[in-house]
Each structure stands twice: as structure tokens, then as C-alpha cells.
């Protein structure tokens, strides 16, 4: 329990491992007959909750549901919620409040309409899982994992208040030279962000590097695992949990993932001094939500785009126009850097695509959530 909490109050069953002690600020007032739990799994209209006293299924209080305007008002995996101790309807406890988030990973859902999909709340770290070159003759930049736009994940993490790390999994499938080469390619690819983004080499098969990943998910910290299908997110979660908590399936014959994981799920790892992982379904690309994430100001210490594309942000200060789009404008310092070979073309094209995809129509927010 946080400092300043009433010592005579019943112990709040938000356990250290689930991250309750990491929450900043004073402990919230919990009404009598209620306690706090963390959302482990989200179903349509129901939530699997975990806390010290075990597991429960919760449903959103009707008043909270009616007041909800956008997807940000609904609980998501990783959220801390206030819930009734007693089950009321259909043996479900009632969720009466969603506590303020310390971070939020949010993507723009696929489809013609811009709509935010909350991926995980209160994650301290976003681990972007990828894989090294599967064969020695494949160029390192065209590997299964690195083909996706890794900077987009970093933008979502930085902008949502989570620390990104890159996890290069399946290093047992390549030589140590190939692994080193892939790490170098990744570092170059990340430009100025490379200094702020650790790269971990792991194998869920032989256990290499798992201590480093496990160390990130200790002392109540939450690590969300994201990345394309088949890179081994669920295998890493199971390995660190020491049990088959989430399903894993073989790759299809062409070496692609099968989208085995179909739901986001909190996976406690490492015992009482440990933390939690969030296993997520494979995503070929993650378009960060470009609108307001409704986080407290302290959670958004950096703008995601600036943090993920620092060298472009620096160059842009020398463009002639303050609102330069870095495409065909005269005296554009960014396109000039590309022409001079100082900024990789792919880095700028990834950036421009991202800026276009993150655009949010003005009308968002005035519509009701589609549930």
C-alpha cells in the first residue's frame, strides 16, 4: 500500500507483483465493500480480474458504462479498477471505477474509420519482439521480424509513457556473427533513438537472454510484448512464467506465424518479487494513436514522434518553413540530408507514412464508443 494510506484500513489486495506499489501519488479512496484489482483479460462486456485474493470476473457498473464516451473510458488489460468485493449479477463483481493510467499503449484500429484500440494500460516497458535473419543468405535488413516498421512501435511506446526495448528472439537459429550483424542493422535503423532503446538478444528455446528480459519484469514492473505473429512472444511469456500459461503453435510451412494468440492477457512472472508480462496477438504494424491518450501530464514526458525520430526533429528546425512537410518544399533540411546521404531514405519514408497514418479526424470524440 502507498505511503499515507490509513493503517487501520483493510489491506488492499493489489499485490506488489502486479505493480500496485509502483503507482505514484497517494492511494485512492476505496469505498467500503470494494477493493482494487487489475484487469488480466478483456472479453466483450466482461473482465477477468486478478489480485491477492485470486481471480474474479467483473462487469462494468451500468452508470460507468452509460457515462463512457470513448474507448478510453472503458477498462483495458493492465488497468487498475475499483470493484465490489461481493459478486452481484451472474456471479460477476461490479467495476465501479478505472484508476488513472500511468501509461497507455494505443493503436489506431484497422479500418476506414479512425478509432483507438487500447493495447495495454500501465505497462512500464514495451518490448518490441522481432527475430534475426532466418538464413545466412537473407540480407539482414529483410528478415522476418525487422521487415515491420519498428519505429512505429517505438513512437507508440514513447508517446504513451512506456520505455521501449527491442527483443531479438530466436537467436538460437543464427550464428553469433549473424546475431551481432542484426543488432548492428537495428541500431543503424533506429538513428538517434538507438541510444535510448536497449536491444536484448533472447531465445525462448534455450533460455539465452531471458534473465535480462525477466529483470525488466521484476519488482512489480509490467512489460508488454508486441510484434508480428510467430516471433515468440507467447513462448517468452511461458518460459518466464515457468508454465504453459498461453498457447503456442508451430509456424506455418512458409515460416510465418499463425496468429495463435487471439487475446491480450496479463501473465504474472517471477513470483512475489517478479512482475507481469502482457502477451498480445501478433500485429504486422502498429499505427500509434495520434490523438490525446488522456494520460496525466507526467506520463507524457516526451512526444513519441520526436523521441523515435530525434534526428529528423533536429533537422526540421533548419527547414525554411516551420510547418514543412519534408516532401517537396524548398530549403527543406530533411530532404537535403537524405540527398547528401546523411539520413537514410527509409527512415524518412517510415516517418512520413507514420505522420500520415497518425492523423486523426476532427470529429473523433464526439461520437460514442462502438460497444
Phi, psi for 334 (deg, rounded to 5): -75, -50
Is residue 103 a contact residue for ligand GTP (CB under 6 A)? no
C-alpha of 18 from chain center: 16
Per CB under 6 A, the segment of 19-27, 86-94, 139-147, 202-210 that binds ligand GTP is 202-210
278 binds Zn ion (CB under 5 A): no
| Binding of ligand GTP by 281 (CB under 6 A) | yes
Q: From residue 218 to residue 237, what is the string marking binding to ligand GTP with x (rule CB under 6 A)?
A: -----------xxxxxxx--
With CB under 5 to 8 Å by kind, the binding choice for 149 among ligand GTP, Mg ion, Zn ion, none is none
- 3-state SS, residue 153: helix
> Which has the closest alpha carbon to 18: 2, 48, 40?
40
Interface with ligand GTP, residue 250, by CB under 6 A: yes
If one asks whether residue 326 binds Zn ion (CB under 5 A), the answer comes out as: yes
Please state the closest distance from residue 246 (CB atom) to ligand GTP, in A: 8
> Would you count residue 134 as binding ligand GTP (CB under 6 A)?
no
Contact present, 162 and 224 (Cβ < 8 Å): yes
**Between 202 and 350, whose beta carbon lies closer to ligand GTP?**
202
Cell matching residue 205: 528455446
CA distance 318 to 336: 11
Q: Which does 230 bind (CB under 5 to 8 A by kind): Zn ion, ligand GTP, Mg ion, none?
A: ligand GTP
Selected binder of Zn ion within 286, 332, 337, 343 (CB under 5 A): 332
**Contacts of 56-61 spanning 24+ positions with Cβ under 8 A:** 56/83, 56/87, 56/92, 56/93, 57/91, 57/92, 57/93, 58/83, 58/92, 58/93, 58/94, 58/95, 59/89, 59/90, 59/92, 59/93, 59/94, 59/95, 60/94, 60/95, 61/94, 61/95, 61/96
Q: Nearer Cβ to ligand GTP, position 23 or 233?
A: 233
324 binds Zn ion, rule: CB under 5 A: yes
Q: Which does 9 bind (CB under 5 to 8 A by kind): Zn ion, ligand GTP, Mg ion, none?
A: none
Amino acid at each position: 500500500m502507498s505511503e499515507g494510506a490509513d493503517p487501520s484500513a483493510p489491506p488492499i489486495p493489489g499485490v506488489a507483483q502486479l505493480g500496485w506499489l509502483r503507482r505514484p501519488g497517494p492511494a485512492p479512496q476505496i469505498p467500503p465493500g470494494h477493493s482494487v484489482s487489475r484487469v488480466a483479460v478483456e472479453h466483450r462486456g466482461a473482465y477477468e480480474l486478478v489480485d491477492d485474493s485470486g481471480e474474479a470476473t467483473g462487469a462494468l457498473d451500468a452508470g460507468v458504462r452509460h457515462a463512457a464516451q470513448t474507448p478510453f473510458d472503458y477498462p483495458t488489460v493492465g488497468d487498475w479498477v475499483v470493484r465490489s468485493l461481493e459478486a452481484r449479477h451472474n456471479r460477476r463483481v461490479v467495476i465501479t471505477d478505472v484508476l488513472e493510467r500511468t501509461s497507455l499503449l494505443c493503436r489506431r484500429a484497422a479500418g476506414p474509420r479512425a478509432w483507438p484500440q487500447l493495447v495495454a494500460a500501465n505497462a512500464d516497458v514495451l518490448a518490441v519482439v522481432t527475430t534475426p535473419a532466418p538464413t545466412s543468405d537473407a540480407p539482414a535488413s529483410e528478415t522476418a521480424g525487422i521487415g515491420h516498421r519498428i519505429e512505429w512501435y517505438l513512437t507508440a511506446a514513447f508517446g504513451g509513457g512506456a520505455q521501449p526495448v527491442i527483443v531479438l528472439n530466436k537467436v538460437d537459429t543464427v550464428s553469433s556473427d549473424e546475431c551481432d550483424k542484426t543488432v548492428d542493422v537495428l541500431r543503424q535503423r533506429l538513428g538517434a533513438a538507438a541510444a535510448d532503446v536497449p536491444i536484448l538478444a533472447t531465445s525462448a528455446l534455450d533460455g539465452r537472454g531471458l534473465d535480462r528480459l525477466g529483470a525488466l519484469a521484476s519488482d512489480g514492473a509490467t512489460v508488454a510484448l508486441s510484434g508480428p505473429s510467430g516471433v515468440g512472444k507467447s513462448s517468452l511469456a511461458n518460459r518466464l512464467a515457468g508454465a504453459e500459461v498461453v498457447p503456442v503453435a508451430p509456424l506455418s510451412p512458409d515460416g510465418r506465424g499463425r496468429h495463435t494468440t487471439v487475446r491480450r492477457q496479463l501473465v504474472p512472472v517471477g513470483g512475489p518479487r517478479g512482475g507481469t508480462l502482457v502477451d498480445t496477438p501478433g500485429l504486422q504494424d502498429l499505427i500509434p494513436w495520434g490523438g490525446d491518450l488522456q494520460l496525466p501530464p507526467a506520463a507524457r514526458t516526451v512526444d513519441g514522434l520526436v523521441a523515435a525520430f530525434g534526428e529528423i526533429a533536429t533537422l526540421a528546425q533548419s527547414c525554411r518553413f516551420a510547418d514543412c512537410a519534408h516532401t517537396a518544399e524548398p530549403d527543406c533540411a530533411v530532404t537535403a540530408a537524405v540527398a547528401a546521404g546523411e539520413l537514410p531514405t527509409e527512415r524518412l519514408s517510415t516517418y512520413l507514412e507514420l505522420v500520415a497514418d497518425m492523423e486523426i479526424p476532427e470529429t473523433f470524440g464526439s461520437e460514442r464508443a462502438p460497444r
